[in-house]
Structure 1
């Protein structure tokens, strides 16, 4: 492992010609997709497998009504088993494709002769399509991975217009597989579940012999050009038995690099120290611990659009990755100057009559909401709360305290985590509104409080307020119970904001 004072471009140039397609080794195979889901991974896997000539069964415990948006996009030849799982769909399959939301302990998976994932299928097909595909960048971390992945793809696209972004950001890489040309970079945001599933596949398939399938599908490897771990914070402790088990899944990203690869770590002792030690045995991996202060000079603009130190740190890591892969500094700087973030992560939705609306629904842990409150410290109406993941809620209480002390207010959404949060808020004498049993109720209350706030601020007639009040959705909790997932929560918030902004075209707030 080398650890330089500055990052140097790798100097690699990928090929530009695409080789002819080969017949898929999956043709005629019986493949079961376990977990169709609503995020696109199961759908993309079913479509891809069908295009390969496989005999595809999709099975999901949810009802046809719940899965309707996805079901209508499935190929007609796909067989669906919904509302239940049947043992024969696993024991008689040649291959089972596991959705990340399916627990690895699910008994039916033990019946499968072989298990893989949509990420593994993508890696296998992409690498077999030619001798040298474009660079692969994988990004993980508790928080910031979506923003860093989005920024990395955006900056790479300044120089490589064919750059693709997928993974946990709700875009399966199988959905753009056929669009890729030789040399096109691919950026993958990978969750702990997706990373740990790669190891799970290798362990499961290694215990079984004689599977008539390519090794790349059964024993997936990332073989990264650039790997990034943004940070580590307690998360998913309702799923993992310990924080150590969670971190081990994140560490899977460190296991498989190409020669002359770059590993970027967020500056976060002791985790960056631990990951540095894990990489010490790899002599051909360049390590860079990057923050806003240590990014190579000349890559970031003085006045980026993004707000918050944590978001600017993400941008610094993205700029460093783009520089290493050969994007000229001027293009990185101009791209970073206009990058406005990704959906659901401090996403600015609009402003009218002194009120700004920000969607940070992806803040599903208390520390993320606390970071968002630091990015918007004054005049903020914070919408927070939700369902429990077994985490320490004191950072969320601190976020609420900051909103109130900055002249704003705290509006709570009902949920199991909110019930625990109430005791903390009362102990610290932090006033709050709610808990509200719907987002509509919480949004209406937040809007009323924001109107009261803007009345106290000087506002020139006909002009936008320079220092607006902000309605900030940054829950710090999971979304289940009131919403399908955090993206459903963010989309509902976006719809409420759009309706409000449309009304103001007719009359003021």
Structure 2
């Protein structure tokens, strides 16, 4: 489906977030109008309503907002809107085309798309690929969940340009085209408050490879079972990356070196100690990004230069400051137990860990074991999951100090400083979403940083 296919169609957009506005703006640019459906009221939508109104949108808002979807020809579903909602399913059954901005982008993009998915590390990997391609080719784009909304730059993309897209399960769920280079990082459990089951979540991710062609490339984390299964779903040329073993082809860690090997050619990108990025898990992201950029034609010198100077992303194990011999790290983007486990493993120094948040069906038993076996000396438990994380940690025999009941970041921070000594790490790595005490993970991380700086 391309933009010209939408002429004379009645178009609905469900969800007026960033992506909903992006769709509306692109349609307006091409002389098309749409109706916006959202469960929020005009007051709740605030600035987004004002922007949409200026773009000529009609509105169906509030309770029962999905009651007349079958009156439309095309529905654009925003990523946060469940595809299996009964009203959407009924409209589709009646012949309404249900699609997304990702489908429109993929069908219309003139350049070559590099798509990155996984449970964690997507943003870091996507951004590093983009930085390398910009260094090597000058003209590259980045969008999806990082960078700009993808339709906002669609018309600027030329035939030989590369576009790097970070793709979530929400965006991949109904995608009907796969990227030229698909990067599959590790896949665990997440968004079980959105997806009915873990299997449904994984199936949603599979669109990144299942529409590929023989001339495409798939880059897969070879250290874990779930991503390896994706290799069976694509006819593309497959390469793996690993931080645990040397590979016949792909990207891997060989002693202290990060290496790419394609055929008989083996290239050392840099040494591990050359990286500014902290965390063993980030070696996987560096391997994946280096390999993707190499297959896209980037120069080895560009890969090395960008990898060595890459500091990572804000709120992703971000070094904030050092005060009185105490180092502060903001890992607010860690919204799963697996992400926080990776953060904890990045340090050997004593850790005061700020952890907890809103519930989304996660199992904290492995996190509890990691807390016990690691250098964590103090737990500051926050949010709705505090009791679950406390139970998991105590069942794993954690005997360190546990602090509960903090109501805001100021209280949290006071307790961390009361417990900290020179040489300690104060680590915000919540293992949970942020809703409740904070607006979102950015607000949580920014509040933490404002206490430090």
**1:178 equivalent in structure 2:** 155
Alpha-carbon deviation of 1:23?
A: 8.0
- Structure 1 stretches of 4+ with a deviation exceeding 4 A read none
Cα distance between partner residues in 1 of 2:350 and 2:195: 37
Once the two structures are superposed, the pairs formed by residues 399-418 of structure 1 within 5 Å of their partners are: 399-401=370-372, 405-406=375-376, 408-415=377-384, 417-418=385-386
Q: How does 1:80-159 map to 2 (within 5 A)?
A: 80-87=59-66, 89-109=68-88, 110-111=90-91, 113-126=96-109, 133-159=110-136
Question: Counterpart of 1:489?
Answer: 441
Secondary structure of 2:114's match? Answer: strand
Give the structure 2 partner of residue 160 of structure 1: 137
**Secondary structure of 2:188's match?**
coil
Alignment pair present for 1:441 and 2:411: yes
Q: CA deviation at 1:67?
A: 2.5
Aligned residue for 2:239?
A: 288
| Distance (whole Å) between structure 1 residues aligned to residue 335 and residue 3 of structure 2 | 43
Q: Does 1:309 align with 2:280?
A: yes
In structure 2, relative to structure 1, the CA distance for the partners of 1:89 and 1:275 (3 Å cut) is same
Report how far residue 332 of structure 1 moved: 0.5
CA distance in 2, matches of 1:237, 1:276: 24
8 Å CA contact 1:50–1:78 kept in 2: the answer is: no
**Structure-1 residue corresponding to 2:195:** 240
Q: How much does 1:490 deviate?
A: 2.8
Output the CA distance in 2 between the equivalents of 1:340 and 1:175: 27
Query: How far does the alpha carbon of each residue in 1:303-328 deviate from its partner, in whole angstroms, 9 at most, with x for none?
Result: 11111111111111100011111111
Cα offset, 1:371, TM superposition: 0.6
Alignment partner of 1:378 out of 339, 342, 349: 349
Match of 1:216 in 2: none
> What secondary structure does 1:356 align onto?
strand
Asked whether the 8 Å contact 1:230–1:266 carries over to 2, the reply is: yes
For 1:259-278, list aligned pairs within 5 A. Answer: 259-278=214-233
2:316 pairs with one of 345, 358, 361: 345
Deviation digits for residues 16-66 of structure 1 (CA, Å, limit 9, x no counterpart): xxxxxx9844344321110112xx211111111111222211121123343
Paired residues of 1:410 and 1:433 also in contact (CA < 8 A): yes
Deviation per residue, 1:262-309 (Å, 9 max, x gap): 111112342344223333xx2xx2211102452413223441111111
Measured in 2, the distance between the counterparts of 1:394 and 1:330 equals 43
Change (3 A) 1:159 1:429: closer
Match of 2:49 in 1: 71
Q: 1:249 aligns with which of 186, 192, 204?
A: 204
1:392 aligns with 2:363: yes
1:353–1:188 CA distance, 2 compared to 1 (3 A): same
- What is the aligned counterpart of 1:221 among 177, 181, 185? 177
**2:22 is the counterpart of 1:31:** no
CA RMSD of aligned residues (A): 2.4
- Unpaired segments ≥5 residues, structure 1: 1-21, 127-132, 199-219, 455-467, 502-509
Q: Following the alignment from structure 1 to structure 2, what is the Cα–Cα distance between the partners of residues 442 and 290?
A: 39
State the SS of the aligned residue for 1:437.
Answer: coil
Higher strand share: 2
Separation in 2, partners of 1:101, 1:440: 31
2:296 matched to which residue of 1?
A: 325
Work out the CA distance in 1 between the residues paired with 2:326 and 2:50: 39
Give 1:364 shift.
Answer: 1.3
CA contact (8 A) 1:387 1:418 kept: no
SS state at 2:312 partner: coil
Match of 1:478, SS state, is coil
Structure 2: tracts of 5 or more residues without a match: 247-251, 253-258, 261-266
Instruction: Indicate whether 1:48 and 2:65 are aligned.
Output: no
Q: 1:69 to 1:268 in 2, by over 3 A?
A: farther
* Count of paired positions: 425
* 3-state SS, counterpart of residue 137 of structure 2: coil
- Which structure would you say has the larger RCO, counting Cα contacts within 8 Å and 6 or more residues apart? 1
